[in-house]
Structure 1
Amino acid sequence: MSDCGCDKAKKDLEEYLRHEVCTTEAADIREHLANCPECQNEALVAQTLTEAVQRACKETAPEDLKNQVLASLRATQATHESA
């Protein structure tokens, strides 16, 4: 293993956090993160954002809201079709 440096770590950070890099690259990035406070902070922000997005994607809109949005879309579509 060898420290991959900031440029490589930042370039591949998203893939690393999603476990989409090969084992060797993951080990190199992990080693870099262990020794670079700046990249550690960037990884923490990226991980926090990724987790927030994943949680948000699991939420569903209330049925009334879904119906209101669909009705609005249908009304807009009908207006444009008749014009």
Structure 2
Amino acid sequence: MSDCGCDKAKRDLEEFLRNEVCRTEAADIRAHLEHCESCRSEAALSVTLTEAVQRACKETAPADLKDHVLARLRDIKAGHEAKSAPAL
């Protein structure tokens, strides 16, 4: 196991955090993070952002907003269909 260096740790950080690197690379990155405050801070920020996005994706829009958007889309669709209908 060796220290992979900041460039490699930062390049492979997202894959490392998603457990998408081989064991050897994961061990090297883990070792690097133990000794590098800068990369460890970047990893912590990435984890925080990922968790925030995951929480946001679980939220649902209020029903009245959904109804408003769908009604607006129907209006737009109806307007386009009226413009493209052949004149008789």
TM-score normalised by the chain length of structure 2: 0.87
Q: Which residue of 1 aligns with 2:11?
A: 11
Q: Structure 1 length as normaliser, TM-score? A: 0.91
Corresponding residue number in structure 1 for 2:59:
59
Unaligned runs of 5+ residues in structure 1 are none
Deviations 1:15-74 (A, max 9, x none): 111111111111111100111111011111111000000111111112221111111111
Structure 1's consecutive aligned runs of 4 or more residues displaced over 6 angstroms after TM superposition are none
> How far off is 1:77 after superposition?
2.0
Q: Which runs of 5+ in 2 are unaligned?
A: 84-88
Identical pairs, percent:
70
CA RMSD of aligned residues (A): 1.1
Distance 1:4 1:65 in 2: 49
Provide the C-alpha distance between the structure 2 equivalents of 1:40 and 1:52, rounded to a whole number of angstroms.
Answer: 18
| 1:43 match | 43
Partner of 2:86: none
In the other structure, the counterpart of 2:25 is 25
For 1:7 and 1:29, the matched residues in 2 are separated by: 11
